[in-house]
Amino acid sequence: MLHYLEKDLKSSTVAPRTVIENVSRRGFLGGALTASGFVLAISTVPASAREALKTYPHGGQGMPHGVVHDPKIFIAITDKGDVTIVTHRSEMGTGIRTSLPLVVADEMEADWKRVKLEQAPGDEPKYGNQDTDGSRSMRHFIQPMRQCGAAMRQMLEQAAAAQWKCDLADVKAELHEVVNTKTGKKLGYGELAKAAMALPVPAVETIKVKKESEFRYMRKGEAKIYDLHDITTGKAIYGADIRLPGMKYAVMARPPVVGGKIKSVKSDATKKVPGVEAVFEFAGPDAPPYKFATVGGVAVVANSTYAALKGREALEVEWDHGANAVYDTDTYTKAMYETAKKPGKVIRNQGDVDKAFAEAKDTFVGEYHQAHMAQAPMEPLVAVARIVDGKVEVWAPVQSPYGARKDIAEALKVPIENVTVHVTLLGGGFGRKSKWDWMLEAVRISEKLNGAPVKLQWSREDDIQHSFYHTTSVERIEMALDDKGKVTGWRHCTVAPSIVSTFAPDSGHQFNIEYGMGFVDMPFEIPNIRCENGEAKAHARIGWFRSVSNLPRAFAVQSAVAELAHKLGRDPKDMLLELLGSDRIIDPKASGFPEDFWNYGEPYPEFPINVARLKGVVNLAADKAGWGKKLPKGEGMGIAVHRAFASYVASVVHVKIDADGTIRVPEVTSAIDCGFYVNPERIRSQMEGAAVMGMSAAAYSAITFKGGAVEQSNYADFQVATMANFPKKVNVVIADPKPENHAGGVGEPGVPPFAPAFANAIFVASGQRLRSMPTGDKLKV
Amino acid sequence: MPTFTVNGESRQFDGDGDMPLLWYLRDELGLTGSKFGCGAGVCGACTAHLDGEAIRTCVTPVSAAEGKKVVTIEGLDANGDHPVQKAWRELSVPQCGFCQCGQIMQAAALLTRNQAPSDDEITAEMSGNICRCGCYERIHSAVRLAAGGV
């Protein structure tokens, strides 16, 4: 399982982890560096350009293997001055492979043109946590990487001062060389490399980072992503592009229903396919939870991908579908709607909701549904594996290379030192590649081949039918209103099969991570609030999908606001601002949040829910979009705001309905407040992409089950937005960061506000209220 | 035995003529710029040119290349400086980048045929190429930018 989850699962079922525990980690950074007793006479460096590194506690310190900031781990400089920076997070399209090294280069005053990147293999004890998900890379590594780059710069300056035998105050690092400000002499980084690297790493309290005015690359957005040329010329290496001498090609037939088993296999025809060399059967796990284990099935090994695929087509497998064959989407969805009407397990309780409803002059009820989805990244899963002299080597596009490495070592019963996981570029991930089931398949096949190199390729059908699916859900929201139309009570019942079921015996209930995603952290200033969870047992593997439970929660909460506005004859944006209420930091305890409230793994005092920031992005987006302007008939704007992954995003979606009922989106305006930020150009691209993925989820994408098996098989029936209909123009506003607002997430928070803003706009344009995702892209006319 | 050229080089293929061109390019020639995305001709990640026309190599049998010219992303321009490639870089189109070779090959074929496509023509031409990261706005803009330079 995802190793960082172990703690949360335990805390959720055994001893609730309190918010306070997370905060008590101050000093971690300093502690990691006390080995170095070296103190640099930094006070003599020109004060205008630099300021003391302000450390703050963050969730990265509590992740497995925490954070590492040692320049000797991350930076290498040759005697010619070529700089290599190690990039240890996985690149799946966010630009992080470029953005974090850019931070290091900026702080160390390296010339980006002379920087090469090296992708780290899965090695968390060395590099710190590598789980590239949860929009955590910048949030957790901005500070360590600034520290790392600044420390390197100080070491280079120190080396130069030593060589010149001059005062440290008289030297200054500037664009790949150190200058003696008195004599005008210069020493290149190459000339200083050896001496600088021999110095001890400066202690954290002596580190001076740049002031914003001195940033060379941060905040500029001028550096292109490192792999841009390779990507546009076909040279970029993704998982399937790894080729080893003598490599075999494999595909697998897997049980159509998760938990199913092989009854019988006829492989005579397969073995006759030219190029097919071997057929192996693998048993799946005996019983749930399935975790990230292989599901079992039949592997076909051949001398080409084509032969392997043809061999698989010729297989005749009879399956015992097992207990999950009962899974039927229609029946299950109806049951979820019923469950949501009944009292559920109370997760948040503030005030007296029953009294509020008993005294209400009017009420509102809204039921919102979302279908399962597959992440369906453009690159299907693939891994290359070989075993030589007991040493296992795997190449894969994986979001969590160290978690994979641990499980591979365990599965093959070899010491972890004997396993190497190389990380290629990822052709998209969206959560699917933070699991590593397919990598385990690849190493097991290589094992059967006595360690021969083998590429295991998943087809698109495999990907659509054997995912860890985004959950399906019904979110029911009830509001109590007084005689002035004020909301006095809020009841939200969430019903959805939980990610927990993939890792632990399924209680039918969700856990603190899912509750923390737009459910218990609902920010409205309403006196009486109760959040309940109804039972829903899983019959499929449930997993992460970009922004996870935030998708259905933002859809429900933000649709309900616009519905209420309509009922009361109010402007939806004014209604939203009124419900958000006064500028304040929400007090989780006073607001009835659960003891184990999950704040994206961040210490609450450092990353609190700040209502002013929510309102700030609402106003930024609305102003930029021209909220309130008169639109032609058949057009409309909708607005939504959501906090996720410690960032705040509001979106205004402009919808235009064609004469034939086709829903078009000519424009989206999104405002993001992600605190301290580095690469505005990549933030914009993430927000553009988030609108498109938001539209896929809102209008197109659904996975449905019948007899326990997925009914869709490829992009023809699992639909995503294409250029035929997508948000044509996405305007992005990035809020100016306040010094106290630490870096938040960027990859995921842009997605959740799209669907509700889209549905709210459709209502304005057409009078039709859509409460079930996907809505389709055509209205009845 | 099909005979054809790939990026200007003569090739003879003596295997199963039903094999999709994609696997020949990737597994046998090591030209990995053409990507496997769907295997059904519905995503466009595998797009290359057959006598200048954009084709889905994942559903085009090798035998269909008989006597024709196959051009992949690796052969689009010797220096990788085709106007479409340059426009892609100018506008920083890619996110994960996996679909982009197919997108670029699709756009290059369009601009060879139609040097001044309308916005709708660009949309129609590019609608079969899926980008799950959602780079469509920049893809559209880059095709428009490249149109000046083809």
Q: Is B45 on the interface with A (CB under 8 A)?
A: yes
**Structure tokens, A239:** 């998982």
Say yes or no: B94 and B54 in one domain: no
SS (H, E, C) chain B: CCEEEECCEEEECCCCCCCEHHHHHHHHCCCCCCCCCCCCCCCCCCEEEECCEEEECCCCEHHHHCCCEEECHHHCCCCCCCHHHHHHHHCCCCCCCCCHHHHHHHHHHHHHHCCCCCHHHHHHHHCCCCCCCCCHHHHHHHHHHHHCCC
Q: What CA–CA distance (Å, rounded) separates A584 from A581?
A: 8
Say yes or no: B8 and B63 in one domain: yes
Of A62, A129, A146, the closest CA to residue A600 belongs to A62
Element (H, E) at B23: helix B21-23
Q: Give chain A's domains with CATH numbers.
A: 5-233 (3.30.365.10), 239-321+381-457 (3.30.365.10), 329-374+468-773 (3.30.365.10)
Q: Among A89, A98, A132, A232, pick the best mutation site for testing chain B contact (most B Cβ within 10 A).
A: A232
SS (H, E, C) A129-162: CCCCCCCCHHHHHHHHHHHHHHHHHHHHHHHHHH
Q: What CA–CA distance (Å, rounded) separates B18 from A182?
A: 74
Tell me chain B's radius of gyration from C-alpha atoms.
Answer: 15
Q: Among A459, A684, A712, A723, pick the best mutation site for testing chain B contact (most B Cβ within 10 A).
A: A723
Are A460 and B19 an interchain contact pair (Cβ–Cβ within 8 Å)? no
The alpha-helical segments, DSSP class H, found in A286-414 are: 305-313, 329-341, 353-358, 401-412
Are B30 and A427 an interchain contact pair (Cβ–Cβ within 8 Å)? no
**Structure tokens, A493:** 């019942």
Strand B3-6 to strand A709-710: parallel, antiparallel, or no bridges (unpaired)? unpaired
Q: Is B118 on the interface with A (CB under 8 A)?
A: no
**pTM for the whole structure:** 0.95
Distance from CA of A365 to the nearest CA of B (A): 34
Using the 3D structure, point to which of B20, B48, B75 is the last residue of a domain.
Answer: B75
Structural domain span for residue B20: 3-75
Residue A708 has pLDDT above 60, yes or no: yes
**DSSP state string for A422-486:** EE-B-S--TTGGGS-HHHHHHHHHHHHTTT--EEEE--HHHHHHS--BBPPEEEEEEEEE-TTS-
Half-sphere exposure of A58 (CA within 13 A, CB side): 24
Distance from CA of A49 to the nearest CA of B (A): 31
Half-sphere exposure of A50 (CA within 13 A, CB side): 26
| For B91, nearest residue in chain A (alpha carbons) | A224
Of A7, A19, A136, A11, the closest CA to residue A604 belongs to A19
The alpha-helical segments, DSSP class H, found in A17-79 are: 19-23, 28-32, 71-74
Are B43 and A715 an interchain contact pair (Cβ–Cβ within 8 Å)? yes
Q: Among A233, A379, A662, pick the best mutation site for testing chain B contact (most B Cβ within 10 A).
A: A233
Are B35 and A693 an interchain contact pair (Cβ–Cβ within 8 Å)? no
The alpha-helical segments, DSSP class H, found in A16-95 are: 19-23, 28-32, 71-74
Element (H, E) at A644: strand A635-644
At A151, the amino acid letter reads A
| For B124, nearest residue in chain A (alpha carbons) | A724
Distance from CA of B67 to the nearest CA of A (A): 23
Q: What CA–CA distance (Å, rounded) separates B36 from A379?
A: 7
Tell me chain A's radius of gyration from C-alpha atoms.
Answer: 27
Q: What CA–CA distance (Å, rounded) separates A434 from A444?
A: 19
Q: Centre a 10 Å sphere on the Cβ of residue A343 and count the other Cβ atoms it contains.
A: 10
Are B94 and A233 an interchain contact pair (Cβ–Cβ within 8 Å)? no
The separation between the first and the last C-alpha atoms of chain B, rounded to the nearest angstrom, is 35
Distance from CA of A717 to the nearest CA of B (A): 10
Are B133 and A428 an interchain contact pair (Cβ–Cβ within 8 Å)? yes
Using the 3D structure, point to which of B38, B53, B75 is the last residue of a domain.
Answer: B75
Q: What average pLDDT does the segment A415-439 reach?
A: 98
pLDDT of residue A84: 98
**Structure tokens, A242:** 């790894």
Using the 3D structure, point to which of B43, B75, B107 is the last residue of a domain.
Answer: B75
Residue B89 sits in a domain whose CATH number is 1.10.150.120
Residue B45 sits in a domain whose CATH number is 3.10.20.30
ipTM above 0.95, yes or no: yes
Strand A248-253 to strand A208-210: parallel, antiparallel, or no bridges (unpaired)? unpaired
Considering chain A, what is the average pLDDT of its residues? 94
**DSSP state string for A585-611:** B--TTTTT--TT--STTS-TTTS--BH
Say yes or no: B29 and B89 in one domain: no
pLDDT of residue B83: 97
Distance from CA of A669 to the nearest CA of B (A): 14
| Dihedrals phi, psi of A49, to nearest 5 degrees | -90, -20
> Do the Cβ atoms of B101 and B35 come closer than 8 Å?
yes
Say yes or no: B69 and B87 in one domain: no
Give the model's confidence band at A21: pLDDT under 50 very low, under 70 low, under 90 confident, else very high: very low
Q: Which of B38, B72, B74 is nearest residue A715 as measured by Cβ atoms?
A: B38
pLDDT of residue A221: 85
The pLDDT tens digits for A130-146 are 999 999 999 999 999 99
Q: Residue with structure tokens 């929201």? A: A477
3-state class (DSSP) for residue A170: helix
Say yes or no: B7 and B70 in one domain: yes
Say yes or no: B63 and B95 in one domain: no
Distance from CA of A724 to the nearest CA of B (A): 5
The full length of chain B comes to 150
| Edge-to-edge order in the sheet of strand B53-56 | B9-12, B3-6, B69-71, B47-50, B53-56
pLDDT of residue A9: 58
Of A241, A105, A688, the closest CA to residue B95 belongs to A688
- Identify the segments of chain B with pLDDT beneath 50: none
Q: Among B14, B19, B23, B95, pick the best mutation site for testing chain A contact (most A Cβ within 10 A).
A: B95
Say yes or no: B70 and B92 in one domain: no
Are A227 and B72 an interchain contact pair (Cβ–Cβ within 8 Å)? no
> Do the Cβ atoms of B57 and B109 come closer than 8 Å?
no
> Do the Cβ atoms of A685 and B92 come closer than 8 Å?
yes
pLDDT of residue A621: 99
pLDDT of residue B1: 75
Q: How far is CA A139 from the centre of its chain?
A: 12
The pLDDT tens digits for A556-606 are 999 999 999 999 999 999 999 999 999 999 999 999 999 999 999 999 999
Say yes or no: B26 and B53 in one domain: yes
DSSP state of A719: -
Q: Among A228, A378, A545, A748, pick the best mutation site for testing chain B contact (most B Cβ within 10 A).
A: A378
**Structure tokens, A244:** 């080893």
Longest dimension (CA), chain B: 43
Q: What CA–CA distance (Å, rounded) separates A102 from A74?
A: 12
Q: Residue with structure tokens 């939980």? A: A498
Of A486, A394, A451, the closest CA to residue A121 belongs to A394
Q: What CA–CA distance (Å, rounded) separates A431 from A293?
A: 16
Q: Which of A232, A460, A716 is nearest residue B37 as measured by Cβ atoms?
A: A460
Q: Is B63 on the interface with A (CB under 8 A)?
A: no
Residues 6+ apart with CB under 8 A from A278: A299, A300, A301, A448, A449
Q: Among B29, B85, B89, B96, pick the best mutation site for testing chain A contact (most A Cβ within 10 A).
A: B96
Q: What average pLDDT does the segment A55-77 reach?
A: 97
Are B42 and A714 an interchain contact pair (Cβ–Cβ within 8 Å)? yes
At B57, the amino acid letter reads T
Distances B80 to A150, A768, B86 between C-alpha atoms, Å: 36, 49, 8
Q: What CA–CA distance (Å, rounded) separates A322 from A274?
A: 34
At A453, the amino acid letter reads P
What stretches of A261-361 adopt beta strand conformation (E)? 261-266, 276-282, 297-302, 316-320, 345-350
For chain B, the 3-state helix, strand and coil shares in percent, each to the nearest 5, are: 40, 15, 50
Are B134 and A690 an interchain contact pair (Cβ–Cβ within 8 Å)? yes
Cα dihedral sign, A117-A122-A127-A128: positive
Task: Name the domain count of chain B.
Answer: 2
Say yes or no: B95 and B67 in one domain: no
Residues 6+ apart with CB under 8 A from A285: A259, A291, A293, A295, A296
Are A689 and B27 an interchain contact pair (Cβ–Cβ within 8 Å)? no
Q: Percent of chain A, pLDDT > 90?
A: 93
pLDDT of residue A17: 28
Q: Which of B20, B43, B104 is nearest residue A232 as measured by Cβ atoms?
A: B104
**Structure tokens, A466:** 């054997």
**How many beta-carbon contacts under 8 Å exist across A and B?**
177
Are B135 and A688 an interchain contact pair (Cβ–Cβ within 8 Å)? yes
Q: Which of A274, A376, A425 is nearest residue B97 as measured by Cβ atoms?
A: A425
Give the model's confidence band at A4: pLDDT under 50 very low, under 70 low, under 90 confident, else very high: low
pLDDT of residue A542: 98
Q: Which of B42, B89, B132 is nearest residue A428 as measured by Cβ atoms?
A: B132
> Do the Cβ atoms of A144 and A88 come closer than 8 Å?
no
The pLDDT tens digits for A314-342 are 999 999 999 999 999 999 999 999 999 99
Say yes or no: B95 and B60 in one domain: no
Element (H, E) at A107: helix A96-108
Degrees (nearest 5) of the Cα angle A483, A489, A494?
140
Q: Residue with structure tokens 């900026």? A: A106
Are B132 and A378 an interchain contact pair (Cβ–Cβ within 8 Å)? yes
The pLDDT tens digits for A89-105 are 999 999 999 999 999 99
> Do the Cβ atoms of A371 and A472 come closer than 8 Å?
yes
Say yes or no: B34 and B11 in one domain: yes
Q: Which of B33, B42, B136 is nearest residue A726 as measured by Cβ atoms?
A: B136
pLDDT of residue A5: 61
The pLDDT tens digits for A235-265 are 999 999 999 999 999 999 999 999 999 999 9
Q: Which of B72, B73, B134 is nearest residue A689 as measured by Cβ atoms?
A: B134
Say yes or no: B65 and B124 in one domain: no
Q: Which of A228, A692, A722 is nearest residue B94 as measured by Cβ atoms?
A: A228
Q: Is B80 on the interface with A (CB under 8 A)?
A: yes
